[in-house]
Amino acid sequence: MPTLNEFQLPEVYDALESEVRSYCRGWPVEMAGASGSWLTDTSGRRYLDFFAGAGALNYGHNNPILKGALIDYLSRDMIVHALDMATEAKTAFLETFQRLILEPRGMDFKVQFPGPTGTNAVEAALKLARKVTGRESVVNFTNAFHGMTLGSLSVTGNSMKRAGAGIPLVHSTPMPYDNYFGGVTEDFQWFERVLDDSGGGLNRPAAVIVETVQGEGGLNVARTEWLRALAELCRRRDILLIIDDVQMGCGRTGKFFSFEEADIMPDIVTLSKSISGYGLPLALTLFRRDLDVWAPGEHNGTFRGNNPAFVTAKTALETFWQGDAFADQTLVKGGFMRDRLNAIADSHPRITARGRGMAQGLKFEDAPTAARVCRAAFERGVLMETSGPADEVVKLLPPLTTPDHELACGIDILAESVATALS
Amino acid sequence: MPTLNEFQLPEVYDALESEVRSYCRGWPVEMAGASGSWLTDTSGRRYLDFFAGAGALNYGHNNPILKGALIDYLSRDMIVHALDMATEAKTAFLETFQRLILEPRGMDFKVQFPGPTGTNAVEAALKLARKVTGRESVVNFTNAFHGMTLGSLSVTGNSMKRAGAGIPLVHSTPMPYDNYFGGVTEDFQWFERVLDDSGGGLNRPAAVIVETVQGEGGLNVARTEWLRALAELCRRRDILLIIDDVQMGCGRTGKFFSFEEADIMPDIVTLSKSISGYGLPLALTLFRRDLDVWAPGEHNGTFRGNNPAFVTAKTALETFWQGDAFADQTLVKGGFMRDRLNAIADSHPRITARGRGMAQGLKFEDAPTAARVCRAAFERGVLMETSGPADEVVKLLPPLTTPDHELACGIDILAESVATALS
Amino acid sequence: MPTLNEFQLPEVYDALESEVRSYCRGWPVEMAGASGSWLTDTSGRRYLDFFAGAGALNYGHNNPILKGALIDYLSRDMIVHALDMATEAKTAFLETFQRLILEPRGMDFKVQFPGPTGTNAVEAALKLARKVTGRESVVNFTNAFHGMTLGSLSVTGNSMKRAGAGIPLVHSTPMPYDNYFGGVTEDFQWFERVLDDSGGGLNRPAAVIVETVQGEGGLNVARTEWLRALAELCRRRDILLIIDDVQMGCGRTGKFFSFEEADIMPDIVTLSKSISGYGLPLALTLFRRDLDVWAPGEHNGTFRGNNPAFVTAKTALETFWQGDAFADQTLVKGGFMRDRLNAIADSHPRITARGRGMAQGLKFEDAPTAARVCRAAFERGVLMETSGPADEVVKLLPPLTTPDHELACGIDILAESVATALS
Amino acid sequence: MPTLNEFQLPEVYDALESEVRSYCRGWPVEMAGASGSWLTDTSGRRYLDFFAGAGALNYGHNNPILKGALIDYLSRDMIVHALDMATEAKTAFLETFQRLILEPRGMDFKVQFPGPTGTNAVEAALKLARKVTGRESVVNFTNAFHGMTLGSLSVTGNSMKRAGAGIPLVHSTPMPYDNYFGGVTEDFQWFERVLDDSGGGLNRPAAVIVETVQGEGGLNVARTEWLRALAELCRRRDILLIIDDVQMGCGRTGKFFSFEEADIMPDIVTLSKSISGYGLPLALTLFRRDLDVWAPGEHNGTFRGNNPAFVTAKTALETFWQGDAFADQTLVKGGFMRDRLNAIADSHPRITARGRGMAQGLKFEDAPTAARVCRAAFERGVLMETSGPADEVVKLLPPLTTPDHELACGIDILAESVATALS
């Protein structure tokens, strides 16, 4: 088994790519091929992917059905880049999204293509919420992650990333996420009280933006009752509820939208990452029909019409979301993962399992331990990353399509890595 | 010849897509195929593309060499989505970019992949400039366009788009772009004076961000002497010069970077749109090696490693940028366009030709006239859009690879459309 | 007994003074003379002053000793206006303040004259805290009141007053004041946790600004243990503690500074209102010697050297603050007031007594009740005002020099007014 | 003749007063008495005051008529501090201000008492302008000075003072003041063009704030035609025009308001400094009746009803402003000053005379020269200060009541000081 130090990147990374690069530091190999839950590096070594492009590959790498549709589209010289012109591929995607996703869920929503990344979708959501309400302030939650452009960064918690802005980030106020105080405090005590107090000093918010499970924040899971109470709190006070489903949507926690389990209906939803199904850039901002106050062209973006992504996105919806089977299977696989993680946690004091659906992980005492676990896993051929405010959580985001025996195999290696890291 | 009113979009656009959609309103047809400078709609009608994805398709639609490389890559199940892991495709792109672009121009720059859109590249550039200098303020120019996320929007001029922010956009101060006063005023009189006046009230800027030709702003062309003076002004005062080459880079004005003609060296450069060569999302932020003060992961983004785009980008560089021939050809074609446009302008009072390289256009008296010209051209099968603060400029951005006879044909139709619009 | 409607103001107020005027609406009489705790209107009617210029008249109106010193100073043609030139009067004030206030309390502080109003003192405090720390954000508390200029207003809680800014007020974050949750929640749970969480999303504060008793906020009293814990929280995290003693300083709660009882030492203190002793405009910003990083002239103001105010301020210090007697007497009088208020509260459900020292009051169920009480008191010749987020608290701020029988008389009338208002 | 180094301040200034102190550094003497245009220090040395409390003493020190009224008021135990209650003194002031100032000038304005300092008056003006228009941005001018609280500071030019804010000052955009380019450039070319350009990138301003003569900015005088054009520019675009007459109002340039000469009518006017006439803190914000959208109490301040200042203010109006004589006399005295200054300037290359009315001065080549002039004048017993972005202007603001021979005497000493400084 090779150790991390024996791996080496091609020279050009060190010489040419900015110091901002990150994943290639922990996994210093040059990847070549990929299929299902596996990556292969240029030396032929294989890696089981428990990371899935940070949630962008819910259906695994290079799913053959999607691949077929994509190559067929490209081969026929169909249009690739179209800004927001109507295209055959876009029409098909919109109709499929309407038929398989919105309609069955009773969502009378409009769809915006805000540019092909999650942060674009969040920026569009914030702009729209401010335009609709005429207010500037947005409430976010501790340990939230919403993106790196200025608007999204202002509602993100991580202090290192916030500092990168170079200007004071304003118009946002953090509130405690569910269970922030370990269950001691009544959930919305502070938020509700300061909202309703005319002397509270809180600028009245246009919107609340929330993730149902905070992936980057360390796999913090909001309870369904908390989400319901939050939705009700917003509804009663005419504050828009934005659910950022960029990472937890597209089935990561079971159902297509992560908020379905809580049986709530947000006002605005952001989707990206796995929406194209093939790792191609695409993003959507969805909102209630009556909130569609945009003027034509008021928000735009060169790559908002990425047609290859429409093709794979439509095919992915047809392949995985015709009924409930896929969601059900994810819950089963997630349950399996959680059982195995619980077993690991039970055998080690100061480790706890956490997560929902197939977003699962282990929380360690500190960052060095979590880092040692990931390193040991990498040396054993499994990719997993850390998250959380102190990088103390090992996060598992395997493709939802990972077969059971590969899930088992990956978690076996995790268990071994934990043992190694703690020894 | 059909008139605009006879065209019709599939119903789903009206029913489902947000009112923010724009291009599909002026060109209400469903596109299907595309090749070179031509698009084909689902009824089989063909359109000559003098718009090129707003500059994202400098090498035309579905260039066969790039297409071959792309399909080959996908067919072999090479990795598609890789965040910022090292991959074979990324290595090849970086090495090629270094060899064909940076080295020959003596640019000792680092490369950042900030997320796959122009606005991401601009946000990263602004963040870096603020981090390096410790200052907040940025100077932009009248009629600038840099993107729709909050950071980029704050340095964008268009008042309708700015209003979309829903919060006051601050930390930026507009200065007059070259020739803003029609040549009457000494160029940097105001900017230099207020910078050097300790009582001027201008927050000292971290950076100046500028386009060498303002595409969205109405094809305003900065003279080389103005750009040189601006670079010198920044250099003497320790202000970073950011050139946003998202639209004008990748050969649109002749050489690879639009600032080469002025023989200046900016501190930071943004590239996107045509860098992938195939209309796939990709963006770069380039900066002087000594400015690379990023911490690992301080700026990130899910789609910053779009490997299909690396493949086509590398192939595009090899195909078009091995020597000077492509740049030279663009200047010749651009010259041809300009001669023809001058001829049109000469025959109509109150029309002027403007532009540089193959970014050329006609300025009309008002927006309705320009809109009528574009509509008449569309009805005759040519796509061209308006730009400028009052949408009074018809902008031509044909693929740089457009054959001469197609250029001639398109401009003939433009001339006819002008005649129609003015009659 | 006349009713409110029978009073009438001279016509010029309605005709000429802005709608922003307020006190003259509730007390529509033209005042003429004043002495001790009494005002006299132009019709000869007398009013017992339980309001004391909102705390600016701790030693009553026109104290004869101060009056003597003032008239003597003016009569001798001593300098009145001197910006920040040295003057005999200023020297005497500084020496006296050092001798009677700073030295006995072991305060090695510098004194700044920031302009003659409380909000000027707060603005200077905030600017200094930001300059010293290099941070922008300031933490304030729910229902805080610090002034009406932009910096002070941004740390003020009242939503009506905040809205007056006309711009989003940023760089401040409200935290719950002591007992905000009625004792249910551990005091600094939220504040400490979010400060220490690197993913909390709170911009790290330069300073915390707090009143020991929130006068305008409704006579909310912070417990000494809460203040001590707050001071310790700031100390451990290198956050500056600003105590705004504009209303509660100068003996209102007993000792000269309101924070002495808690035995804490803030980093910065603001004083104004009663510091001149005679109702003349004067303000001080005090800070630890090592925080004096001001450059000469970096903050200034035309009336920062109000020499008549120096004269009365110095005389007031000599008259009232040579020893502990005055503070002790205030505590006794305050105790008397509180006993009487408790008695009123005990006899009415839903009324509670609150306050500290001679800042005492009654909290009613709602604003209309409190307003009726004040109106009934006015009709009976006693001036008292409402405060609190919903104007539901009747606040008593009699001059500290009010004789016992006048205190008793005023509270008798209050009791009568309460009975009337509730009947 | 003593030199500066021989003077010495009492120890307490160095030991106790903040480093922010300024005037006492250049004039290190302890002042005692004052009368007319003369100050006397504690050693009995006399100083001719060509500084007049930075414009707060237009009627000189301790004018006997005002003094009589003031002492009479205080002696009779009339009310001193009254917040915004109606008082006999306030009624008299309002009626007199209406009768002698507003009515004769046809100004249908409301009067607000915003707190007793110039910066309070400016803050109130900015808040009101933003409230009325619903816009945030304000246009100010190069080298403007409006005060030290955050709102006023954001529209102030001086970079040292701006840096004192400790936060980025936003919502303001500087424009070139009249003659900023030495007459080369068409006056409002930049401002008008960028306002009217929908792509200009300038946030649409709520208001323009301007001084007719920039005192602190170095005695820059706006021409009447420039002011008229500015007023017209604002009027046509529905932008409120705020004239900050804190320093130049109350007759400093001749007529009561400094803008009368230009025959324009601003929307909002600020007054302070000399409005009380006796150096007592008082300030007014005046605005067109229809702009009075304040809610009661929306802006307040403890010392907004400084009754001794009302008494002297009313007496000053009656004494000096019953007719045109005082204004006429100021113009004559100002003319005399200017002739003498021109003579000095003519005899020295690189010195220019500048100013209007009795705000006059000399501009030197650099700050050290101007400082040497002021120092030489002080050693000869005349107080004058420097101003301007580089402190290169010696500013003369003698009391308007200064007798001719004292004016002559002071200017003789100035001439001598110039000769000394240049030798």
Q: How many whole angstroms separate alpha carbon C362 and alpha carbon D365?
A: 66
Amino acid (one-letter) located at C188 = F
Which residues are paired to D213 by β-bridges? D221
Would you call B87 an interface residue with chain A, using a CB distance cutoff of 8 Å? yes
**Does the distance separating the beta carbons of D287 and C94 come in below 8 Å?**
no
Mean of the per-residue pLDDT values of chain B: 96
CA angle at residue A289 from A286 to A294, to 5 degrees? 75
Would you call A87 an interface residue with chain B, using a CB distance cutoff of 8 Å? yes
Q: Which tokens hold the place of C346?
A: 């005990």
Would you call A410 an interface residue with chain C, using a CB distance cutoff of 8 Å? no
Q: What is the mean pLDDT of residues B355-369?
A: 97
Q: How many whole angstroms separate alpha carbon D215 and alpha carbon D222?
A: 11
CA angle at residue B224 from B218 to B230, to 5 degrees? 90
Interface test with A, best of B8, B9, B13, B21 (most A CBs within 10 A): B21
Nearby residues of D271 by Cβ (< 8 Å), 6 or more positions away: D121, D245, D246, D249, D250, D283, D284, D285, D286
Q: How many whole angstroms separate alpha carbon B37 and alpha carbon B62?
A: 9
DSSP string computed for C308-346: HHHHHHHHHHHHH-SSSHHHHHHHHHHHHHHHHHHHHHH
Class of C78-320 in CATH: alpha beta
DSSP B294: P
Bridge pairing between strands D268-271 and D240-244: parallel
Evaluate whether D362 touches D353 at the Cβ level (below 8 Å).
yes
Contacts of D115 in chain C (CB under 8 A): 117, 119, 148
Which of A258, A210, A208, A250 lies closest to A233 in space, CA to CA?
Answer: A208
Contacts of D21 in chain C (CB under 8 A): 84, 296
CA A381 to chain CA centroid, Å, is: 24
Of D10, D82, D148, nearest to C86 by CB-CB distance is D10
Give the tens place of pLDDT for each residue, C364-414: 999 999 999 999 999 999 999 999 989 999 999 999 999 999 999 999 999
pLDDT of residue D184: 63
**Does the distance separating the beta carbons of B157 and D180 come in below 8 Å?**
no
Give the tens place of pLDDT for each residue, B272-331: 999 999 999 999 999 999 999 999 999 999 999 999 999 999 999 999 999 999 999 999
Q: Which tokens hold the place of A392?
A: 């103390």
Which of A10, A62, A14 lies closest to A31 in space, CA to CA?
Answer: A10
Q: How many whole angstroms separate alpha carbon D229 and alpha carbon D226?
A: 5
Interface test with D, best of B137, B138, B202 (most D CBs within 10 A): B202
pLDDT higher than 80, residue B185: no
pLDDT band at B181 (very low <50, low <70, confident <90, very high): confident
Count of other CB atoms within 10 angstroms of residue B65: 15
Q: How many whole angstroms separate alpha carbon A411 and alpha carbon A382?
A: 9
Nearby residues of B54 by Cβ (< 8 Å), 6 or more positions away: A83, A302, B215, B247, B273, B385, B397
pLDDT higher than 70, residue C197: yes
Q: What is the mean pLDDT of residues D221-229?
A: 95
Q: Which tokens hold the place of C163?
A: 């809205």
Q: How far is D198 from chain C (nearest CA, A)?
A: 22
Evaluate whether B299 touches B283 at the Cβ level (below 8 Å).
no
Q: Which tokens hold the place of D404?
A: 């001719």
Q: Is D43 helix (H, G, I), strand (E, B) or coil?
A: coil
Give the tens place of pLDDT for each residue, C278-320: 999 999 999 999 999 999 999 999 999 999 999 999 999 999 9
Mean of the per-residue pLDDT values of chain A: 96
Q: Identify the sign of the CA torsion C91, C92, C93, C95.
A: positive
Q: What's the Cα-to-Cα distance from C366 to each of A210, C345, C373, C386, rounded to whole Å? A: 35, 15, 11, 11
pLDDT higher than 70, residue D185: no
**Does the distance separating the beta carbons of D171 and C167 come in below 8 Å?**
yes
Which residues are paired to B393 by β-bridges? B363, B387
Dihedral angle computed from the Cα positions of residues C156, C157, C160 and C164, in that order, rounded to the nearest 10 degrees: 30
Would you call A168 an interface residue with chain D, using a CB distance cutoff of 8 Å? yes
**Does the distance separating the beta carbons of B142 and D389 come in below 8 Å?**
no
Evaluate whether B316 touches B277 at the Cβ level (below 8 Å).
yes
Q: Which tokens hold the place of C153?
A: 């207003």
**Does the distance separating the beta carbons of B168 and C167 come in below 8 Å?**
yes
**Does the distance separating the beta carbons of D171 and B201 come in below 8 Å?**
no
**Does the distance separating the beta carbons of C142 and A194 come in below 8 Å?**
yes
Amino acid (one-letter) located at A129 = A
Q: Quote the pTM value.
A: 0.96
Q: How far is C268 from chain D (nearest CA, A)?
A: 13
Would you call A130 an interface residue with chain B, using a CB distance cutoff of 8 Å? yes
Q: How many whole angstroms separate alpha carbon C312 and alpha carbon C314?
A: 5
Evaluate whether B178 touches B219 at the Cβ level (below 8 Å).
no
Q: How many whole angstroms separate alpha carbon D153 and alpha carbon D156?
A: 5
Q: How far is A189 from chain C (nearest CA, A)?
A: 8
pLDDT band at D357 (very low <50, low <70, confident <90, very high): very high
Neighbours of chain B (3+ CB pairs under 8 A): A, C, D
Q: How many whole angstroms separate alpha carbon A222 and alpha carbon D269?
A: 55
Contacts of A190 in chain C (CB under 8 A): 176, 181, 185, 190
All CATH 3.90.1150.10 domain ranges in chain B, comma separated: 4-63+324-422
pLDDT band at D1 (very low <50, low <70, confident <90, very high): confident
Interface test with D, best of B137, B180, B196, B244 (most D CBs within 10 A): B180
pLDDT of residue C5: 85
Contacts of D136 in chain A (CB under 8 A): none
Q: How many whole angstroms separate alpha carbon C276 and alpha carbon C57?
A: 9
Q: Where are the alpha helices (DSSP H) in A140-278?
A: 150-154, 159-163, 189-196, 224-237
pLDDT higher than 80, residue D218: yes
Edge-to-edge, what's the strand order for the sheet holding B359-363? B352-356, B359-363, B393-396, B385-387
pLDDT band at D5 (very low <50, low <70, confident <90, very high): confident
pLDDT of residue B423: 87
Fold of A4-63+324-422: Aspartate Aminotransferase, domain 1 (3.90.1150)
Contacts of B199 in chain C (CB under 8 A): none
Task: State which residue of chain C sits closest to A135, comparing Cα positions.
Answer: C168
Give the tens place of pLDDT for each residue, D200-216: 898 899 999 999 999 99
pLDDT < 70 regions, chain A: 183-187
Give the tens place of pLDDT for each residue, C333-347: 999 999 999 999 999
Q: What is the mean pLDDT of residues C206-233?
A: 96
Task: State which residue of chain D sits closest to B142, comparing Cα positions.
Answer: D200
Q: How many whole angstroms separate alpha carbon C287 and alpha carbon A331?
A: 60
pLDDT band at C184 (very low <50, low <70, confident <90, very high): low
Would you call D168 an interface residue with chain A, using a CB distance cutoff of 8 Å? yes
Contacts of C244 in chain A (CB under 8 A): none
The counts of H helices and E strands in chain C are 14, 18
**Does the distance separating the beta carbons of A176 and C201 come in below 8 Å?**
no
pLDDT higher than 80, residue C183: no
Q: How far is B62 from chain A (nearest CA, A)?
A: 6
Q: How many whole angstroms separate alpha carbon C122 and alpha carbon C268?
A: 10
Give the tens place of pLDDT for each residue, D290-324: 999 999 999 999 999 999 999 999 999 999 999 99
**Does the distance separating the beta carbons of C53 and D302 come in below 8 Å?**
yes
Give the tens place of pLDDT for each residue, B46-93: 999 999 999 999 999 999 999 999 999 999 999 999 999 999 999 999
pLDDT band at B189 (very low <50, low <70, confident <90, very high): confident
Give the tens place of pLDDT for each residue, D127-172: 999 999 999 999 999 999 999 999 999 999 999 999 999 999 999 9
pLDDT of residue B184: 63
Task: State which residue of chain B sits closest to D137, comparing Cα positions.
Answer: B168
Would you call A144 an interface residue with chain C, using a CB distance cutoff of 8 Å? yes
Q: How many whole angstroms separate alpha carbon D413 and alpha carbon D418?
A: 8
* ipTM of the shown complex: 0.97
Query: D-contacting residues of C 55-74, CB under 8 Å?
Result: 55-57, 61-62, 67, 70-71, 74
All CATH 3.40.640.10 domain ranges in chain C, comma separated: 78-320
pLDDT of residue D189: 80
Q: Identify the sign of the CA torsion A198, A201, A205, A211.
A: negative
Evaluate whether C238 touches C213 at the Cβ level (below 8 Å).
no
Q: Is B223 helix (H, G, I), strand (E, B) or coil?
A: coil
Would you call B167 an interface residue with chain C, using a CB distance cutoff of 8 Å? yes
**Does the distance separating the beta carbons of C194 and A162 come in below 8 Å?**
no
DSSP D335: H
Q: How far is B164 from chain D (nearest CA, A)?
A: 12
Q: Which tokens hold the place of A25?
A: 């530091």
Evaluate whether B136 touches B206 at the Cβ level (below 8 Å).
yes
Would you call C167 an interface residue with chain B, using a CB distance cutoff of 8 Å? yes
Of B16, B54, B57, nearest to A94 by CB-CB distance is B16
Question: Which residue bears the tokens 């194209």?
Answer: A276
Give the tens place of pLDDT for each residue, A38-87: 999 999 999 999 999 999 999 999 999 999 999 999 999 999 999 999 99
Would you call D188 an interface residue with chain B, using a CB distance cutoff of 8 Å? no
- Angle in degrees, 0-180, between the axes of helices A404-422 and A325-346, rounded to the nearest 10: 20
**Does the distance separating the beta carbons of A130 and B165 come in below 8 Å?**
yes
Mean of the per-residue pLDDT values of chain C: 96
Which of A281, A312, A277, A61 lies closest to B77 in space, CA to CA?
Answer: A61
Q: Which tokens hold the place of B314?
A: 């590398």
Edge-to-edge, what's the strand order for the sheet holding D352-356? D352-356, D359-363, D393-396, D385-387
DSSP D99: I
Of B190, B201, B204, nearest to D190 by CB-CB distance is B190
Secondary structure element (H or E) that encloses residue C32, with its range: strand C30-35
DSSP B93: H
